[in-house]
Amino acid sequence: MSAECSSYLNADKVLVSGFSCPRTGGDARAVYCCGFQDVKYCCDDPHSFFPYEHSYMWWLSVGALVGLSIAAVVLFAFIITVCVLCYLFISTKPRSKLDTGLSLQ
């Protein structure tokens, strides 16, 4: 079994000529053409979307989770600060009305 990867323009707009899978000197199990419009490669799983090991994608997910966690903590601290400042503003307002010096009679 073999597959044909058609020619394509890579990210640098350089034409990469087509090739057949498996490639000479490559993994004999990589019989499928995988990839996107700007990068194509031979792989052993027809449902493979990325030319990287799964651990690489896992670290991207961990980095995204850490970033989102930090953003959530900052947002939570901002909301708490705004609530405390609003409470202090309302609780320290003078309770009596100011005397304007005019009689309303």
Q: Give the Cα separation of 74 and 100 in Å (integer).
A: 44
Judge whether residue 51 has pLDDT over 60: no
pTM: 0.43
Judge whether residue 69 has pLDDT over 80: yes
Q: Give the Cα separation of 82 and 88 in Å (integer).
A: 10
What is the mean pLDDT of the segment spanning 38-66? 71
Q: Which two tokens stand for residue 56?
A: 């690489």
Judge whether residue 80 has pLDDT over 90: yes
Judge whether residue 22 has pLDDT over 80: yes
Amino acid at the residue 16: V
Q: What percent of the chain has pLDDT over 90?
A: 27
Integer CA distances (angstroms), 35 to 9, 16, 49, 91, 102, in order? 13, 13, 6, 62, 81
Domain ranges of the chain: 4-43, 53-93
Q: 3-state DSSP call for residue 9?
A: strand
